[in-house]
Structure 1
Amino acid sequence: MTITGIAITGCGSATPSVLLDNHGLSQRVETSDEWIASRTGIQHRRLADPNTGLSTLATSAAQEAIAMANLDPAAIDLIILATSTADDLFGSASLIQAQLGATKAVAFDMTAACSGFVFGLVTAAQFIRTGVYQTVLVIGADVLSRWVDWSDRRTCILFGDGAGAVILQADEQEHLLGFEIRSDGRQNQSLNLSYQPQPQEILPGITIGQGTYHPITMNGQEIYRFAVKKVPEVIEKALFRANLTVDQIDWLILHQANQRILDAVAERLNIPSEKVISNLAKYGNTSAASIPLALDEAVREGKIKLGDRIVTSGFGAGLTWGAAVFEWGR
């Protein structure tokens, strides 16, 4: 097998049409626009209506990325869907493959919560570098509104729905310059969307657990401490692997979890605020979608240009975290 370079040649995004602002939320729970905005940086979030599935958003984002890369969907070899909220517990990637008409692609789901897009990016890269596949579609998408307790103001103010996607292609030059991914299950209890079984006896002496997933629970202080400590470390490790310094980076795109986290990480890395991409105010925390959604907006606004160096980092449930350094385009 030959080792091949990688280029990210297209991106796309999609969000639902329903908009819920902080004033609207204050009619549901005891909170206010000032309270939410000052503590999180969030002003709005987009929510999927009952007829808008995860697959719908993911397919739309993927179509934009495919169009930007000027590809025929039949040229895609692999589709990786990073999500924690698939329409089907068995997975949604294959349905998206069919909706795209990517008839030659193998497709599978990957779950790493808010780190999912970075983990998907790194996984896709391995298939290309070894020469197994030439063109990979990576989608980060989540519909967390399905699993939020809308009476819990600690969590319902944070999350929104959306999807983002990128196309990775084999290239003569290496544009994915370095990465590092990590996990620590010892802190798993800090952020959960857990299955809660109810005992059900199906025959005398044979009892199984049938139930459902309960809404998101989160220890916000623990997640904040984890993120502001671990994210700068993993970014520095990825930069080291890329043989780059912070000063050589054009843009920082973090998982859009909380503006305080974005500011604290940038400060610890001595990255000026004008290099930090943030669209958190408009969309809230869209989990695996947040990084590609922010990337796509910045590219389409002309902020990110061909050859710009970007460092990105995802972090969240698991706990999982990771960073990747890449040059935009080929």
Structure 2
Amino acid sequence: MAKSIYSVITGTGNYIPTRRIKNEDFLSYEFYEKDGIKLTKDNKDVILKFQEITTIAERRYVTKDQVTSDIASFSAKAAIESAGIDKEELDYVIVAHNFGDVTDENKQLDIVPSLAARVKQKLKIINPYAVAYDVPFGCPGWLQAMIQADYFIKSGDAKKVLVIGADVLSRVCDPHDRDSMIYADGAGAVILEAKESETPTGILAHKTRSDTYEYANMLFMGKSYNNTNGCVGN
């Protein structure tokens, strides 16, 4: 039986920030409705209801000196070590994210140069043919990056691809919106390699859809719910 090329995950890595934010840390926050009216409900009740719905008791935030490309590179290094490969053999470095390197001092989005280029530099990869680019694709960005990597491998264009998903949402969410308690920071990475096999293995199939006609604006950037300061950040 003839062998076909499949994409197989050979290494994984992650970075979970060390800064723990518990639900009780939000007791001192001032929450507002989207119309700018301050919530009259006690924060204890708001937080209790939130935990009942989400089962989230704590989340992780990056430290003040960290940005998205930092934690992305940490997870990437772990994935490379897990796969036991030479980083110079990578054909692509793909980073899925949404907001770039937002610093603690400046909430402005920073996406130039690409995060993938920054990660490649932080990993000290010299090979110029390890193509680095970003995939800004919302919540399923990492999955879409995996789909692209799978295409590269199955077409014969690549044999080893580093795929990373990372975001620092704590710096872009509105601290006056109770839903901001959902968000956290973190990064994960995999090494996807080409493997010949007579039987299907690795990534077998995928399907992507974009329901933008009705739902394009479910998540959006804008002013804080607290209209007295008009800013987004914490």
| Superposition deviation, residue 215 in structure 1 | 4.4
Structure-2 residue corresponding to 1:42: 56
Structure-2 residue corresponding to 1:188: 216
Runs (5+) with no aligned partner, structure 1: 196-213, 217-330
| Superposition deviation, residue 4 in structure 1 | 2.0
Structure 2 residue identity aligned to 1:100: L
The 5-angstrom pairing of residues 193-232 of structure 1 reads: 193=221, 215=232
Structure 1 residue identity aligned to 2:28: Q
The 5-angstrom pairing of residues 1-330 of structure 1 reads: 4-29=5-30, 30-32=42-44, 33-87=47-101, 88-90=110-112, 91-104=114-127, 105-153=130-178, 155-173=179-197, 174-186=201-213, 187-193=215-221, 215=232
Whose strand proportion is higher, 1 or 2? 1
* Structure with more relative contact order (C-alpha pairs < 8 Å, separation 6 or more): 2
The answer to whether the Cα contact below 8 Å between 2:72 and 2:165 also exists between their aligned partners in 1 is: yes
| Superposition deviation, residue 194 in structure 1 | 5.5
- The number of aligned residues is 196
Query: Percent of aligned positions with the same letter in both sequences?
Result: 32
| Superposition deviation, residue 193 in structure 1 | 2.7
In 1, Cα distance between the equivalents of 2:210 and 2:14?
27
In 2, Cα distance between the equivalents of 1:194 and 1:115?
22
Change beyond 3 A, Cα 1:194–1:178: farther
| Superposition deviation, residue 28 in structure 1 | 1.7
Say which is worse superposed, 21-30 or 44-53, in terms of deviation: 21-30
The answer to whether the Cα contact below 8 Å between 1:12 and 1:62 also exists between their aligned partners in 2 is: yes
Structure-1 residue corresponding to 2:34: none
Structure 2 residue identity aligned to 1:60: F
Say which is worse superposed, 75-84 or 94-103, in terms of deviation: 94-103
Whose helix proportion is higher, 1 or 2? 1
- TM-score between both structures, scaled by the size of structure 1: 0.56
| Superposition deviation, residue 11 in structure 1 | 0.6
Classify the secondary structure of the residue corresponding to 2:207.
strand
Structure-1 residue corresponding to 2:39: none
| Superposition deviation, residue 99 in structure 1 | 1.0
1:59-81 deviations in Å (ceiling 9; x for gaps): 00001110110011111110110
Classify the secondary structure of the residue corresponding to 1:178.
coil
The answer to whether the Cα contact below 8 Å between 2:97 and 2:138 also exists between their aligned partners in 1 is: yes
Classify the secondary structure of the residue corresponding to 2:118.
helix
Considering only aligned residues, what root-mean-square deviation do their CA atoms show, in Å?
1.9
Structure 2 residue identity aligned to 1:193: M
The answer to whether the Cα contact below 8 Å between 2:175 and 2:232 also exists between their aligned partners in 1 is: no
Structure 1 residue identity aligned to 2:111: L
Structure 2 residue identity aligned to 1:84: N
| Superposition deviation, residue 3 in structure 1 | 6.0
The answer to whether the Cα contact below 8 Å between 2:4 and 2:196 also exists between their aligned partners in 1 is: no
In 2, Cα distance between the equivalents of 1:142 and 1:164?
10
The answer to whether the Cα contact below 8 Å between 1:12 and 1:166 also exists between their aligned partners in 2 is: yes
Classify the secondary structure of the residue corresponding to 1:189.
coil
In 1, Cα distance between the equivalents of 2:158 and 2:147?
14
Runs (5+) with no aligned partner, structure 2: 31-41, 102-109, 224-230
Shift >4 Å, 4+ stretches: none
Say which is worse superposed, 162-171 or 186-195, in terms of deviation: 186-195
